Structure 1
């Protein structure tokens, strides 16, 4: 009894090393369980523990919700990785629950041992120490009750964690299956892409082979041309362009000669017919019967004649209809055919001494070689410029030193001198355009243009070909605007 009375709970003494062993488990587990103390009137008060840790169920639910929320933002492979991670977490949590359950079993054993030790001591001590032992026994009983409640909670958490682990395992299996399917599809696409690349490579190789063959052929042709060029250079022969130019000049000269011969033959034939009918012509037309030339009225006997007291009027005659159309303003002994005269006969009526004589071309007026193709090329351009000289302005002669620019566009014509615009008009029904009909040596190069009723020009081009080109181009653009350009007194449509 004396040894038991000397025990002092809560402080160290020099006899601490001879304290009985069964009391040590109570001191060991004091740091692992809630701390209690005796209050007034025998009430047991639980002391405040450290910061509360959220329950395991809430942690698992929160992580599962975050995984479900992020499911749509990850690819299939990342989703599978997340499911595997969740499965591992659930497994760890399940193991942690098992460890806690094992710890609870150990605590039950310790509490039973502690309670048996305290009951054995309660029979050996008296007084104040006995009361303290009884309080300790009551505290152990309260801890046992709380541990049983905690055990029930842990069992429920264990069940929930197990179900969550099963669901995560199923989701992980589904994710793996989806990943395998995607991998198979990707492999199929890769194989198809490889086959396509192989086909393209084969096609490129075949193309390279063909290009090499054609390249060799081209190289052989180039070598031949180089040999020919070297031979020409060694022989000091003229270039092909010069040969063509000389050949063209020769052909033109020959054509002119043949045309003159043909016209002379037609004239002789016509004269022979008239001689049979006792109709001897007095006048005849001299000049090439083609666009770009000049036709002159001459006497049949070759004697010069004064046309000052003789009136002249030119006509164009359709070859099929044989209707005679007057050419307004063409009252001079010379006349330059314009594009509208191509394919028609030209006829001049001469009145002298109260008699009327007729001079007619032996054939139709021929077009200028290559002029139609040249105009078709210019039609593709939005506008074309020509250098001209203004001969007359509203019938008044003008100085011929200044060079103007005539612009023939798709919608309008413009005449300017430097930066100054002399005339600029859109195509309209009041506009007139034709060749100059007043005669003169430059009539084949001159054009009459009346943009509006109060303004008219007579302009001269550098060549007869440019004059005819400008007339045909302007009329073509005007037809595109549903307008027909003609000369004064001409009938439309053509």
Structure 2
């Protein structure tokens, strides 16, 4: 809310006529108090003048004319009340930021012209009226002193605003420092995640060199490292865990390839054992020995077989008890291991031409890395 007011030096009665006075205010007086506001970067912007406030030039001319008409009846008390009213109005205007600057700009010109008008009146009157005019001039000087004090207050407020700006600058620097510390902590955690991935790679290489039993232990350690990596992913935003996720996918692919190589080696070992015992099978199983894969019955010599006239039955064999458990409905050349098959051997019996051939997995069915 903006307060607008003008100094009132006198009022005419209803029965008095308006007569032109001998004096006019100088042209350097502004028509009215302009309106200012604080823009961005501390720039003071002048707004358009509102039509509801009368021009200051007209008000001063009117009041000067009334002073000349009523100089014989003008009392000191009335003049003091009017100056007090003007002072109160100036105090209200000083509370608004847009009026503080204009008060400083218009002060000297307004007081100079007002004092000039009163001094011209003092030369035209005598007696008690002249004393009243001199007292009015003294009041103008007092008003100038009060406005000077107000200017000092504005300077002090400006100093406080400057200190507040410095405080905000310090707060901004503290915020930047905190952000930098958090960035360093995040980088440290990412490096820790990369170290965990490196440990996973080392564990995988160790898994390739060890036997079946030690391979199971390495698999548990690998799963543990994967759980740690997943926990790190949940603790960080997706952008920080993206690299870790890509490396884990690469490890999964590498593990699948190494598992295929391991199965092939076990099959070759089993084949050599059977060659020594003169028990060469006709068929073999092809595919990963883990959940999510598919086992196919293939001929060892690589020739395609027609299974339309061949009966097939799948079994699961316990590794310790060595007892066969028939799998109901598993009578096709391909079979997908189920959760019940984990930790057991898979065996397929193929009946063709009155003869029976057996194809068996080289190792136990593994739950797989994804599970």
CA, structure 1 residues 285+80, in 2 after alignment: closer, same or farther (shift >3 Å)? farther
CA deviation after TM superposition for structure 1 residue 311, in Å: 0.2
CA, structure 1 residues 119+309, in 2 after alignment: closer, same or farther (shift >3 Å)? closer
User: Larger C-alpha radius of gyration, 1 or 2?
Assistant: 1
CA, structure 1 residues 266+111, in 2 after alignment: closer, same or farther (shift >3 Å)? closer
CA, structure 1 residues 169+114, in 2 after alignment: closer, same or farther (shift >3 Å)? same
Which range is displaced more, 196-205 or 159-168?
Answer: 159-168
Task: Look up the SS of the partner of 1:347 in the other structure.
Answer: strand
For 2:272 and 2:228, the matched residues in 1 are separated by 56
> Highest relative contact order (Cα 8 Å, sep 6+), 1 or 2?
2
Which range is displaced more, 134-143 or 222-231?
Answer: 134-143
TM-score by length of 1: 0.27
Say if 1:316 and 1:344, in contact at 8 Å, map to a contact too.
yes
Question: Any gaps of 5 or more consecutive residues in structure 2?
Answer: none
Deviation per residue, 1:201-240 (Å, 9 max, x gap) = 9999999999999999999999999999999999999933
CA deviation after TM superposition for structure 1 residue 126, in Å: 111
Q: Give the match for residue 192 of structure 2.
A: 192
Deviation per residue, 1:84-127 (Å, 9 max, x gap) = 99999999999999999999999999999999999999999999
Say if 2:289 and 2:363, in contact at 8 Å, map to a contact too.
yes
Say if 2:35 and 2:98, in contact at 8 Å, map to a contact too.
no
Once superposed, which parts of structure 1, at least 4 consecutive aligned residues long, lie more than 6 Å away?
1-238
Q: Give the match for residue 53 of structure 2.
A: 53
Q: How does 1:315-354 map to 2 (within 5 A)?
A: 315-354=315-354
Which range is displaced more, 307-316 or 21-30?
Answer: 21-30
| Greater strand fraction, Structure 1 or Structure 2 | 1
For 2:286 and 2:337, the matched residues in 1 are separated by 13
Task: Look up the SS of the partner of 1:297 in the other structure.
Answer: strand
Deviation per residue, 1:106-153 (Å, 9 max, x gap) = 999999999999999999999999999999999999999999999999
CA, structure 1 residues 85+93, in 2 after alignment: closer, same or farther (shift >3 Å)? same
For 1:354 and 1:301, the matched residues in 2 are separated by 20
CA deviation after TM superposition for structure 1 residue 274, in Å: 0.5
Say if 1:57 and 1:157, in contact at 8 Å, map to a contact too.
no
CA deviation after TM superposition for structure 1 residue 198, in Å: 55
For 2:289 and 2:275, the matched residues in 1 are separated by 24
For 1:285 and 1:154, the matched residues in 2 are separated by 94
Which range is displaced more, 252-261 or 87-96?
Answer: 87-96
Say if 2:2 and 2:96, in contact at 8 Å, map to a contact too.
no
Say if 1:83 and 1:168, in contact at 8 Å, map to a contact too.
no
Say if 1:23 and 1:114, in contact at 8 Å, map to a contact too.
no
Q: Give the match for residue 62 of structure 1.
A: 62
CA deviation after TM superposition for structure 1 residue 270, in Å: 0.3
Task: Look up the SS of the partner of 1:152 in the other structure.
Answer: helix
CA deviation after TM superposition for structure 1 residue 242, in Å: 1.6
For 1:233 and 1:38, the matched residues in 2 are separated by 49
Task: Look up the SS of the partner of 2:33 in the other structure.
Answer: coil
Say if 1:79 and 1:175, in contact at 8 Å, map to a contact too.
no
For 1:154 and 1:236, the matched residues in 2 are separated by 51
For 1:2 and 1:276, the matched residues in 2 are separated by 108
CA, structure 1 residues 114+16, in 2 after alignment: closer, same or farther (shift >3 Å)? farther
Say if 1:90 and 1:161, in contact at 8 Å, map to a contact too.
no
Task: Look up the SS of the partner of 1:132 in the other structure.
Answer: helix
TM-score by length of 2: 0.35
For 2:103 and 2:225, the matched residues in 1 are separated by 104
Say if 2:317 and 2:345, in contact at 8 Å, map to a contact too.
yes
Say if 1:56 and 1:157, in contact at 8 Å, map to a contact too.
no
Say if 1:94 and 1:158, in contact at 8 Å, map to a contact too.
no
Say if 2:318 and 2:344, in contact at 8 Å, map to a contact too.
yes
Say if 1:87 and 1:168, in contact at 8 Å, map to a contact too.
no
CA deviation after TM superposition for structure 1 residue 280, in Å: 1.1
For 1:332 and 1:2, the matched residues in 2 are separated by 92
Task: Look up the SS of the partner of 1:358 in the other structure.
Answer: strand
Deviation per residue, 1:41-100 (Å, 9 max, x gap) = 999999999999999999999999999999999999999999999999999999999999
For 1:283 and 1:308, the matched residues in 2 are separated by 16
CA, structure 1 residues 207+31, in 2 after alignment: closer, same or farther (shift >3 Å)? farther
For 1:37 and 1:243, the matched residues in 2 are separated by 53
| Greater helix fraction, Structure 1 or Structure 2 | 2
CA deviation after TM superposition for structure 1 residue 282, in Å: 0.8
CA, structure 1 residues 88+189, in 2 after alignment: closer, same or farther (shift >3 Å)? farther
CA, structure 1 residues 347+60, in 2 after alignment: closer, same or farther (shift >3 Å)? same
For 1:323 and 1:244, the matched residues in 2 are separated by 44
For 1:112 and 1:299, the matched residues in 2 are separated by 118
Asked if 1:135 is matched to 2:122, the reply is: no
Say if 1:283 and 1:357, in contact at 8 Å, map to a contact too.
yes
